[in-house]
Structure 1
């Protein structure tokens, strides 16, 4: 399947910003299951690509001149192998056993992980964990924020894809299973608002497997991966800081659709 992506983010500030830095993980990588046919960023000025500690493609957009808005765009076409399942990775999975503030497992999460998996650590056990979390934490926008921890969202019994992923990571790592946060895009036939998405990957039998808790999916058939990390803060598509500006309004539009093959005349 070929997916066409258009992702536009606009920041408007009440007052003039004296300077800002935006860390952009908006460029997908080539892998065994996704082939980037074309991709480009639309930025206020050209920025050189680099790699972050997790191997993600990173662009650092620095705005030294005063400004009251920023427009960031990403667009392209990526071919997804719908039949690909687990992925290999040359890096060690061991760093993804570490917890962060957002993914620290409390007693309730540790007990829930044991309840779902017991002594099992195979892929089927983690699928049971995925479904258990989906039932325990129904998808509910507006209940949590980007600062909410896995423990807080789990205790509240609701959340969005970021919270589901953090809770899964907390549980998996408490069981001794390396697991990482994934940001990207999801194509869905019947929904537009799920286009920008997050899910988890866990290391089982030498491969990274997908666990999309929000949608109960254990195969990444329509998932386009942008970045990975220990949590949301490592992998979110756009993250920044600024001096001045007062209040901020952020508007994001994401469109994901099948890309029709062009036939030669």
Structure 2
């Protein structure tokens, strides 16, 4: 499947911002499952591409003059292999056993994980965990915030894709299975879920397998990966800080559509 992406995020400030820094993980890279055909960022000024410790491509956008708005855009096309279920990497998966503040497993999450998986630590067990979390936590925008932890969202029985993913990571890690947060896009025609999306990957039998709790999918056939990390803070597409500005209004528009693939045949 070929996906075409158009993503624009605009920040409007009540007062002038004296200076700001935005960390952008908005650029996908090639892998066994996806091939980037074209991609570009539309930024107020050029920013140099770097690679973070998790292998993500990121840019640092620094604006050191007064401004009242910041508009960041990304667009391109990526081919997705819908048949590939796992991805292999050379980097160790062991760091993804570590809990963070957002993914700490309390007793309720540990008990839930054991109840869903028992002594099993295979893909079928984690698929059962994925379905169990979806049934326990209703998709309900506005019920959680960026700083809501997995334990808090699990206790409230509601959240969005970020919370579903954090809860899965907490459960998987409590079972001794390395798991990581993934940010990106998903093509979901007619869905009420935002196409800017988050899901989990778990390390099983020497490869990374995907688990999308929100959509209850264990094959990422419509998913475009941007970045990975221990939690949302490591992998979120845009994260920044500023001096001044007062109240902030943020508007995001993301369009994900299947692109037409044209095959040329020789006569």
TM range (shorter): over 0.9
Can you give the 5+ residue segments of structure 1 that lack an aligned partner in the other structure? none
3-state SS, counterpart of residue 260 of structure 1: coil
How far is 1:264 from its partner?
5.8
Q: For 1:179 and 1:126, how far apart are their aligned partners in 2?
A: 11
Match of 2:106 in 1: 106
The range that moved more, 253-262 or 36-45, is 253-262
Can you give the 5+ residue segments of structure 2 that lack an aligned partner in the other structure? none
Equivalences for residues 30-45 of structure 1 within 5 A: 30-45=30-45
User: Is the contact between residue 192 and residue 255 of structure 1 (CA under 8 Å) also seen in structure 2?
Assistant: no
RMSD of Structure 2 on Structure 1 (CA): 1.1
Matched residue count: 265
Q: For 1:177 and 1:103, how far apart are their aligned partners in 2?
A: 14
Equivalences for residues 185-204 of structure 1 within 5 A: 185-191=185-191, 193-204=193-204
1:75 pairs with 2:81: no
Match of 1:17 in 2: 17
3-state SS, counterpart of residue 110 of structure 1: helix
How far is 1:193 from its partner?
4.3
Match of 2:132 in 1: 132
3-state SS, counterpart of residue 124 of structure 1: helix
Q: For 2:192 and 2:9, how far apart are their aligned partners in 1?
A: 16
How far is 1:190 from its partner?
1.6
Distance 1:40 1:86, change over 3 A: same
How far is 1:263 from its partner?
5.8
Q: For 1:149 and 1:192, how far apart are their aligned partners in 2?
A: 23
Q: For 1:256 and 1:32, how far apart are their aligned partners in 2?
A: 21
How far is 1:138 from its partner?
1.1
How far is 1:79 from its partner?
0.3
Q: For 2:78 and 2:122, how far apart are their aligned partners in 1?
A: 31
Distance 1:154 1:193, change over 3 A: closer
Distance 1:76 1:192, change over 3 A: farther
**Structure 1 length as normaliser, TM-score?**
0.98
Q: For 1:45 and 1:189, how far apart are their aligned partners in 2?
A: 34
3-state SS, counterpart of residue 133 of structure 2: helix
How far is 1:141 from its partner?
0.8
Match of 1:171 in 2: 171
Q: For 1:45 and 1:29, how far apart are their aligned partners in 2?
A: 22
Which deviations, in whole Å up to 9, do the C-alpha atoms of 1:121-152 show, x marking residues without a partner?
A: 00000000000000000111110001100000
1:147 pairs with 2:147: yes
Q: For 1:22 and 1:194, how far apart are their aligned partners in 2?
A: 22
3-state SS, counterpart of residue 74 of structure 2: strand
Q: For 2:112 and 2:264, how far apart are their aligned partners in 1?
A: 55
**Structure 2 length as normaliser, TM-score?**
0.98
Which deviations, in whole Å up to 9, do the C-alpha atoms of 1:221-253 show, x marking residues without a partner?
A: 000000000000000000000000000000000
Match of 1:211 in 2: 211
Q: For 2:134 and 2:169, how far apart are their aligned partners in 1?
A: 13
3-state SS, counterpart of residue 181 of structure 2: strand
